[in-house]
Amino acid sequence: MKDTRRLYTDLAWLWPLWGEVDVDYAHYCDRVRALMDQHASAPVKTVLDIGCGGGKNVHNLERAYKVTGLDISAAMLAQARTLNPECEFIEADMRDFSLNRNFDAVLMDDAISYMSSLADFEAAFRCAYAHLKPGGVLITTPDVTIESFEQNRTQTTTARRDDLEVVFIENIFDPDPGDESFETTVVYLIRQHGQLSIETDHWTMGLFSMDTWRSVLTRIGFTVFETPYALGEDAYTVLACVKTRFRPVSLHRGGCRRAVSRFVRRTMDSR
């Protein structure tokens, strides 16, 4: 089935209803801020949010930092600018961009899930590494891993605003357990003034083991710290990845590359 990704184009207007910016996103950003401040070698002042989407994480982080958002979707960036008019936003591909500046910290939230091949997955993290100052920290959270994947899992979320009600029905399925990806299908039940319309969406997402996450990040040059995080009934592992020393990274068409690490340090923060 062909990817449509309509949530990031003609259906992007539904995004503000899916997840409360001052509840769900605020809760996660509280943990992100704590980890940034804990692991960065210098006070965090500037943050790059790679794959910022509609800017809900930016909205929460900009209260503490100067935040720049980057995303490939023009429709989502339009929403991000409306929500955060004082912040800078850049339209670019997370696998292959160069801003010619570095940041104290980088956030790469669930947008990394759209890297459906190992090559793209690593390229995105190399770009993050290239845009961090030495001693800076990348925060990223595996949304679905091989260990946590549940075949045919279906979740339903209902949102209401004025005369608009939307039911988001999200299903994940892996048609080929031997590859590096799975499929997400979403059905949108949209009622405006009581009139129902039904829209569908589909995209392919990456599926890697936790060991793959660790090995890619450490090979690039990060020291990785792990901490548990729970939101409702869902449990995650947040990775705080420190750029412990400078490594030259060449930027080229197709991704940011070059970095090798020979060690990994992992700790569990039980806070």
- Phi-psi region at 193: left, alpha or beta (left = phi > 0; alpha = psi -120 to 50): left
pLDDT at residue 20, rounded to an integer: 85
DSSP character for 265?
A: -
In 38-180, which ranges are E strands? 46-50, 66-71, 88-91, 103-108, 132-140, 154-161, 164-173
Please tell me which residue, 255 or 15, carries the higher pLDDT value. 15
Within 10 angstroms of residue 270's Cβ, the number of other Cβ atoms is 6
pLDDT at residue 247, rounded to an integer: 55
Nearest to 221 by CA among 238, 239, 240, 243: 243
pLDDT at residue 253, rounded to an integer: 40
Non-local (6+) Cβ contacts of 76 within 8 A are 8, 12, 15, 52, 53, 54, 55
pLDDT tens for each residue of 8-49: 999 999 999 988 888 889 999 999 999 999 999 999 999 999
pLDDT tens for each residue of 106-127: 999 999 999 999 999 999 999 9
Sign of CA dihedral 222, 121, 140, 69: positive
6-142+207-257 under CATH 3.40.50.150, yes or no:
yes
CA atoms lying within 13 Å on the CB side of residue 50? 31
pLDDT tens for each residue of 53-62: 999 999 999 9
Whether the pLDDT of residue 271 is over 60: the answer is no
pLDDT at residue 42, rounded to an integer: 95
In angstroms, the CA 271 to CA 269 distance is 6
pLDDT tens for each residue of 119-149: 999 999 999 999 999 999 999 999 999 999 9
Distances (CA, A) of 240 to 127, 140, 209, 228: 16, 7, 17, 11
pLDDT at residue 145, rounded to an integer: 96
Assess contact for 229 and 236: CB atoms under 8 A. Answer: yes
Q: Looking up tokens 């890619």, which residue turns up? A: 216
pLDDT tens for each residue of 180-232: 999 999 999 999 998 999 999 999 999 999 999 999 999 999 999 999 998 87
pLDDT tens for each residue of 50-102: 999 999 999 999 999 999 999 999 999 999 999 999 999 999 999 999 999 99
Read off the pTM: 0.88
| Tokens matching residue 66 | 């100067």
Assess contact for 203 and 5: CB atoms under 8 A. Answer: yes
In this prediction, residue 103 has a pLDDT band, given cuts at 50, 70 and 90, of very high
Assess contact for 67 and 53: CB atoms under 8 A. Answer: no
Longest dimension (CA), the chain: 60
pLDDT at residue 266, rounded to an integer: 32
Nearest to 50 by CA among 105, 108, 135, 118: 108
pLDDT at residue 263, rounded to an integer: 27
Assess contact for 222 and 240: CB atoms under 8 A. Answer: no
Nearest-Å Rg of the Cα atoms of the chain is: 18
Domain ranges of the chain: 6-142+207-257, 154-206
Average pLDDT along the chain:
90
